[in-house]
Structure 1
Amino acid sequence: EADGECNGTHEIELCEIMPEGHEKADPSQFELLKVLGQGSFGKVFLVRKISGQDTGTLYAMKVLKKATLKVRDRVRTKMERDILADVNHPFVVKLHYAFQTEGKLYLILDFLRGGDLFTRLSKEIMFTEEDVKFYLAELALALDHLHSVGVIYRDLKPENILLDADGHISLTDFGLCKEALDDQKAYSFCGTVEYMAPEVVNRRGHNTAADWWSFGVLLFEMLTGALPFQGANRKETMTLILKAKLGMPAYLSPEAQSLLRALFKRNPANRLGAGPEGVEELKRHPFFSSIDWSKLYSKEIEPPFKPAVSKADDTFYFDQEFTTRTPKDSPGVPPSANAHQMFKGFSFVAPFLLDDQVDGVEIMQSHPAEKTTLSKRLSGVKPNSIHDEYDLSEEVGRGSYSVCRRCVHRVTRQEYAVKIIPKKTRDCQEEIEILYRYGHHSNIISLRDVYEDDAHVYLVMELMKGGELLDKILRQKFFSEREASAVLLTLTNAVQYLHQNGVVHRDLKPSNIMYADISGSPESLRICDFGFAKQLRAENGLLMTPCYTANFVAPEVLKKQGYDAACDIWSLG
């Protein structure tokens, strides 16, 4: 095959890989949970390890019918196992195990709940060049690292780029030479040709420079929403890649246009990134002038967008540590019901926020429930019964539209709270998305699971064992200024985080501010109940990165958003 001829690469069979101190792995140690992806090469499964030190850990298992790894010849020859073990990089998916059986190769990789989000980003979010710069800079570091250990992609495409829960990229599928028996198969194997460099398309043999062409295609696609070379069919697309002159959209900055021209060089030797300095050339390009590369590498730069994925960590349900731990905290004792009644007459809601007043009773309008099921509209909503995984017990709170009950996970015996919302009263899609996206903040309640049946939606969240801020105020009768300022500083920081991300809470009051544990420390404060919260969106309904909002949102939209944000500030007061 032409691929074998490129730059002294040769193909090797894969040796077994396992983490240090772990025993050799084989297929019997992994329980298949579900199929995550499928292609002509094989399948990707979500699996759970059922023996060994990492029992209970969730992984993605890629099973390839026939695969070899390409490795550039090096003076210091590396053992095959070292090569993949060396692919240890903040922006590359970690490979934990590799083993093979007759004709099948097994790769056990990190399972990222964010999944193949990169492909969806361009469809769901409005990006600016600044935002695109962040992702492409992380990608450049990952690619350069793979090149340094002899891995060439050949068909880098959005499906290879996953996002972790914080929004950083994670490159996957590295080093798999998609080998096939004949040309026809080889093409179906590689899937899309749109991202391939001319030298890959005409099968003249290629080196790492091919990946910098693909990098250019991704850059163009993220900046414009379209592919640079796309014909009516595969053959036409290949012809365009080999011959067409690229029209550059006028709205792209001169720096972006210059970078694209430097990447789309049909002679690989002239392509940016292909010279003796490699990625350093690319890093020095004016397009990336605002990037601090060392901060980027150490993940100190905040990603433009946080994916809406569950906070539950991979091993959460099945980790031995959780299943054996005894809960130590007990719920805080609420003060008399009388005290709550006294506070009922006192409103923490800004007067200009109230949509309506009925006989002096404050009503906030809510969204009517949508007809389609939530699980069809949102990933991460489970259509199966909550009772399969949790035992529900006593009521711990009640709101205008919902009831909160304590619940216990059947396997781990961990305690949680479940908010039960009748579907006919309101659509809670916005609330779920906001909690998935921003519940990672230390002072915002975190959402563990979402279930739905015909009548209700169930939000499983951390149990607030320290009770409401209101209860603490009533128990203590008096807060010193020092205590009050510590509480307010914590809450203000959390509200600032929400506002920066275009979210307004619109219902901040002491009963929606709770303590996660009985310590009563400001760190354990959580803002709860996002039932009235709103996320700022563009006119087309897409979410926007903070950078996009600042540059392109109409003043009247920002004014309305500022109005709502002012309500939160009023409530803090």
Structure 2
Amino acid sequence: EVEILLRHHNHPNIVSVRDVYENENLVYLVQEYLKGGELLDKIFREKFLSEREASNVMYVIANTLNYLHTNMVVHRDLKPSNILYADDSCAASSLRICDFGFAKQLRAENGLLMTPCYTANFVAPEVLKMQGYHAACDVWSLGVLMYTMLFGQTPFAVKPNESSEVVLSRIESGRLDLVNNNWNKISDSARDLLTNMLNPEPSKRCTASMILSHPWIKNRDQLSLKLLTNFLPQDINQTKNSVKATFRAVNSTTKIPILEPVECSTLAQRRVRAKSIVANQSKNEKEKNSPVNNSSLNKK
């Protein structure tokens, strides 16, 4: 996480790192203060959202994803709570993508990742099936975010009391809840992009670059300002509970990786072993060159 952030934190829509401190066991990141809060909380406060506003948000995030993917980095945990505003204006341009704890630098050989790290409602079907996956997962998560912005609910865990089996089955099959008052109100262009981003087949899913060239993004200044989503208090609670329901579904059937202490990581252990080897070599050299050893050799 530290290495990826230090390499890319100068991008205007990636959280910046002010300083890094570490001791024997822990690493501390000092990052910019994002006082505007989470993206969805801002939307909930305003209660209504238009296609143009949603498209402006999508443009900023897709543009940032395209930058990361071009640099062979995938985020792998692109949920709303990891997308925040830097200031109180809550302008789309002040959005920041945060929490790169699950981010991965892709291997250039095959471009696939074999270690599933995901978060509940924003997990792609191929991750659930424990298959290798790549940047298409971030696009899937962005599609879920777009759906939530336009419809005020998540596309899979619609009811908080749905069973884990139902939720998981829906995610794996890519079945969306299209029986929604707003589905027929949004433009054909929005529906086209949304279904492409949430395609359960990664190879058929659009890329971040394709999102940027899609008419719904390119012509965002011409999109309707008609307010779509009406976030009533009960809607807000249902949306939040919906996400929790998906968390429960995934947790009940799949072991979710946890972030272990830094010293337990493969890299940290490798460094410890390397230091130990160097230390032993140095010790051996000193013993070999010590006066005691030399005198004993001379006696022989």
Aligned to 1:17: none
- The CA deviation at 1:144 is 1.6
Write the mapping of 1:373-384 to structure 2, written as runs, cut at 5 A: none
Aligned to 1:173: 99
- The CA deviation at 1:203 is 1.8
Aligned to 1:483: none
Aligned to 2:120, the other structure's residue is in SS state coil
1: CA distance, partners of 2:201 / 2:153: 24
- Kindly tell me: are residues 138 and 85 of structure 1, through their superposed partners in 2, closer, same or farther at Cα, counting changes over 3 Å? same
Aligned to 2:211: 282
1: CA distance, partners of 2:173 / 2:127: 14
Q: Alignment RMSD, CA only?
A: 2.9
1: CA distance, partners of 2:43 / 2:37: 15
- Within the candidate set 119, 123, 129, 2:44 is matched to 123
Matched-pair identity in %: 28
Question: Match for 1:281: what amino acid?
Answer: M
Residues 124-179 of structure 1: CA deviation (Å, up to 9, x unaligned): 2211101101111111111122223333122211100101223221111125359x
- The CA deviation at 1:287 is 0.8
Higher strand share: 1
Write the mapping of 1:11-410 to structure 2, written as runs, cut at 5 A: 69=1, 81=3, 84-116=6-38, 118-125=39-46, 126-165=48-87, 166-167=89-90, 168-176=94-102, 192-230=119-157, 232-248=162-178, 249-273=183-207, 279-291=208-220
Are the aligned partners of 1:155 and 1:193 in contact in 2 as well (CA < 8 Å)? no
Aligned to 1:246, the other structure's residue is in SS state coil
- The CA deviation at 1:539 is 11
Question: Match for 2:98: what amino acid?
Answer: T
1: CA distance, partners of 2:12 / 2:51: 23
- How many residues are aligned here? 204
Please give the TM-score of this superposition, normalised by the length of structure 1: 0.33
- The CA deviation at 1:233 is 4.3
Write the mapping of 1:474-485 to structure 2, written as runs, cut at 5 A: none
- Kindly tell me: are residues 539 and 209 of structure 1, through their superposed partners in 2, closer, same or farther at Cα, counting changes over 3 Å? closer
- Kindly tell me: are residues 220 and 105 of structure 1, through their superposed partners in 2, closer, same or farther at Cα, counting changes over 3 Å? same
2: CA distance, partners of 1:242 / 1:282: 23
1: CA distance, partners of 2:191 / 2:9: 32
Question: Match for 2:20: what amino acid?
Answer: A
1: CA distance, partners of 2:215 / 2:4: 36
Residues 278-317 of structure 1: CA deviation (Å, up to 9, x unaligned): x33212211113248xxxxxxxxxxx9xxxxxxxxxxxxx
- Kindly tell me: are residues 103 and 216 of structure 1, through their superposed partners in 2, closer, same or farther at Cα, counting changes over 3 Å? same
Are the aligned partners of 1:151 and 1:174 in contact in 2 as well (CA < 8 Å)? no
Are the aligned partners of 2:156 and 2:175 in contact in 1 as well (CA < 8 Å)? no
Aligned to 1:98, the other structure's residue is in SS state strand
1: CA distance, partners of 2:211 / 2:143: 11
2: CA distance, partners of 1:138 / 1:251: 24
1: CA distance, partners of 2:28 / 2:102: 12
- The CA deviation at 1:263 is 0.7
- The CA deviation at 1:90 is 1.2
- The CA deviation at 1:247 is 3.9
1: CA distance, partners of 2:130 / 2:155: 20
Q: Which runs of 5+ in 2 are unaligned?
A: 105-114, 234-300
Are the aligned partners of 2:19 and 2:30 in contact in 1 as well (CA < 8 Å)? yes
Residues 9-37 of structure 1: CA deviation (Å, up to 9, x unaligned): xxxxxxxxxxxxxxxxxxxxxxxxxxxxx
**Higher RCO, 1 vs 2 (CA within 8 Å, ≥6 residues apart):** 2
Runs of 4+ with deviation above 6 angstroms: 538-541
Bigger radius of gyration, 1 or 2? 1
Are the aligned partners of 2:147 and 2:155 in contact in 1 as well (CA < 8 Å)? yes
- The CA deviation at 1:105 is 2.5
Question: Match for 1:223: what amino acid?
Answer: L
